[in-house]
Amino acid sequence: MLALIIRRIMQLVFLLFGISFLVFSSMYIAPGNPAAIIGGPTATAEDIAAIEENLGLDDPFLVQYARYVSNAVQGDFGYSYQTSQPVADAIAVRFPNTLKLAIASMIVAVVIGIITGLVSALKQNSLLDISATTFALAGISIPNFWLGALLILVFSVNLQWLPVGGMTNPFYTVAGIKELILPAITLGTGSAAMIARMTRSSMLEVIRADYVRTARAKGVKEKNVIWIHTLKNAMIPIITVIGLNFGFLLGGTIITEKVFAINGVGRLMIDAIAARDFPMVQGSVLLVATLFVVVNLLVDIIYTYIDPRIKFD
Amino acid sequence: MALAETVALKEKKREKYIITTIRRLFKNKLAVAGLIIVILQILMAIFAPAITVHDPIKQNLASSELPMFSAGHWLGTDNYGRDVWSRIVYGARISLVVGLIAVSLGLIGGVLLGMLAGYYPKLDAVIMRFVDLLFSFPGILLAMLIIAILGTSLVNVAIAISIWSIPTCARIVRGSVLSIKEKEYIMAMRSMGASDLRIMARHILPNAAAPIIVFATMRMATAILSTASLSYLGLGAQPPTPEWGAMISQGQDFMWTSPHLTIVPGIAIMLTVFAFNVLGDGLRDALDPNMDIQQ
């Protein structure tokens, strides 16, 4: 188990190098001279040359990349072209909101998804099953930014139960929880639908397996058949979907943050792309991609716990 | 003679498979509903000028924010007095065209990489590591990174979504190629001196078509949803282009007074994405030979 984790971490390090190289070279080949962006419209050719020399932008590509990586591992992602603020500081201020949103949405997705999928599988072809399947189909087709707008319309504008947007209060306060409800439902619904579909099909497959029939024949209580014999074995594909959905959720936070005017990394990224603020784009993309691969690693490790037959050779 | 008989038998089998697949697809009510919606959308997009009266981008401030079922504007007008029905119809054209371009480009890249990786073991590791690298980014993030390089426009959105589609398509195709290339008829073709290109294009690709068709149908749903999402974020279609996601973004500012500006384009996106999803689901079931046994 430990050897597996070490091997996967080593692979992760190489992958992170690959990600950083791809992100850095993407920004390098992007049109627009960073020195001219920093200098502004009034900068002369001499000013631009001075900025280039000062920031090392006239160095060869690989030298620039090596410097970027060596600074990045020390937590220095450069300075914003727009605000001159350190990128790491700007991200650090906004990251808690993004993480809060992603985790809250994941909780919504897992709880709703697994319960819906379980009920649907255990009551196959019933009205409950049809309703759950319809929810799952609608959930994967609904644009989350539109769902967010509708929820605001109903719960904030008409009923005035929940705030329209923003995320300024700590999550453990009533106001903080109220701020999280609509964004978490908005972002979590699509994933809940995917998890529900996978839970249903996985449970239906396992529930017909010979060993489940044997357990029933031996007189094991139905509750134990479901929770001990069926669910644990049905969990492997479900966890795959949950792991994959964390990436979907991280991507989704970008959109949800815009709908609910949340000051997170996603909004920072959109503003940075619009302003061609390359260090900010690099830093935020790197952070989200790193989080994504780390979560995937954790999912792989959880697999081996659930199914010790998995060895990842 | 024996070879000709085998080829004829194979052709007959293929014809039978296609007929059975179509029959199975038409038995699935949800998939048929999806197919009807997709056909209607395509007709709507093609005959847009014939089924609309108003110009989708022409402003008429004298009749701004008209509610639904107003005279001459059954879906109302937006804050610039533009007819919402016309914008929805022309929006269908944009969504379908961008989706089609994105999926086609993604298929070309994915099929090419998947075929090479599956057929040539020496290329496999290099290509698949590159694919793994692309998989390290959540899809929308990869699209945004590409838009950051290329700039904001609908064409760039199509390119970004196509690049995002490449890794998934490459994996699907590689898997199929790996299993097909070990089949006896491929070995027979090889021993008869057929070139690699001929084997790949004439014998492997048609046999790997089923998962590719399902992927392309499902990907249309993702591409349309992603185009709308990116336009909503201001990274795709720019005003006054009648794109559904951009329409929701603009309509959100008037949600208090004219909620239909947000609701109507959302329904259009949801219906289209739903249609492609259920059609993809139906195709997957219909193309799966095991379905008959399961049923």
Q: To the nearest 10°, report the CA torsion of B231, B237, B240, B243.
A: -70
Q: Which of A8-17, A31-40, B210-219 has the highest mean pLDDT?
A: B210-219
Give the mean model confidence (pLDDT) for residues A197-217.
88
Contacts with A273 (C-beta within 8 Å, 6 or more apart), sequence order? A281, B144, B147, B148, B152, B235
pLDDT tops 80 at residue A48 = yes
Q: What is the pLDDT of residue B289?
A: 61
Q: What is the pLDDT of residue A111?
A: 94
| Helix (H/G/I), strand (E/B), else coil: B29 | helix
Distance from CA of A9 to the nearest CA of B (A): 14
Between positions 117 and 176 of A, the ones with CB within 8 A of B are 137-138, 140-146, 149-150, 152-153, 157
Q: Which of B132, B133, B271 to mutate to test the interface with A (most CBs of A within 10 A)?
A: B133
Q: Show residues of chain B in contact with A284, CB under 8 Å.
A: none
The residue in chain B having the minimum alpha-carbon distance to the alpha carbon of residue A273 is B148
**Using an 8 Å Cβ cutoff, are B224 and B273 in contact?**
yes
CB atoms B274 and A157 under 8 Å? no
The full DSSP string for A43-96 is --HHHHHHHHHHHTTTS-HHHHHHHHHHHHTTT---B-TTT--BHHHHHHHHHH
pLDDT tops 80 at residue B167 = yes
Q: What is the pLDDT of residue A74?
A: 92
Reported confidence tier of residue B39, pLDDT bands at 50, 70, 90:
very high
Q: What is the pLDDT of residue B293?
A: 40
Q: What is the pLDDT of residue B295?
A: 39
| Helix H or strand E segment including B166 | helix B154-180
Between positions 168 and 227 of B, the ones with CB within 8 A of A are 221, 225
pLDDT tops 50 at residue A194 = yes
Q: What is the pLDDT of residue A61?
A: 92
| Helix (H/G/I), strand (E/B), else coil: B275 | helix
| Residues facing B70 on adjacent strands | B73
Distance from CA of B245 to the nearest CA of A (A): 9
pLDDT tops 50 at residue B294 = no
Distance from CA of A44 to the nearest CA of B (A): 25
Q: What is the number of residues in chain B?
A: 295
CB atoms B248 and A293 under 8 Å? no
Distance from CA of B235 to the nearest CA of A (A): 8
Interface A:B, Cβ pairs < 8 A: 131
Cα separation, A139 vs A187, whole angstroms: 11
Burial readout A300-309 (b: 16 or more C-beta within 10 A, e: otherwise) = beebbeeeee
CB atoms A15 and B132 under 8 Å? yes
Give the mean model confidence (pLDDT) for residues B140-158.
89
* Partner residue opposite A289 with nearest CB, options B136, B148, B265: B136
* Partner residue opposite A137 with nearest CB, options B225, B232, B274: B274
Angle, CA of B217, A149 and B245, to the nearest 5°: 40
What are A136's two structure tokens?
């799952």
pLDDT tops 90 at residue A7 = no
Asked if A209 reaches chain B (Cβ–Cβ under 8 Å), the answer is no
What are B257's two structure tokens?
């007074």
Cα separation, B160 vs B154, whole angstroms: 10
Q: What is the pLDDT of residue A223?
A: 86
Q: What is the pLDDT of residue B7?
A: 66
Q: Show residues of chain B in contact with A140, CB under 8 Å.
A: 273, 277
Between positions 223 and 262 of B, the ones with CB within 8 A of A are 225, 228-229, 232-235, 245, 248-249, 252, 255-256, 259, 262
**B59-117 pLDDT, tens per residue?**
989 888 999 999 889 999 999 999 999 999 999 999 999 999 999 999 999 999 999 99
Cα-based distances in Å from A76 to A58, A69, A188, B112, B222: 20, 9, 33, 39, 36
**Using an 8 Å Cβ cutoff, are A262 and A96 in contact?**
no
CB atoms B141 and A288 under 8 Å? yes
CB atoms A27 and B149 under 8 Å? yes
The residue in chain A having the minimum alpha-carbon distance to the alpha carbon of residue B141 is A251
The residue with greater pLDDT, B23 or A39, is B23
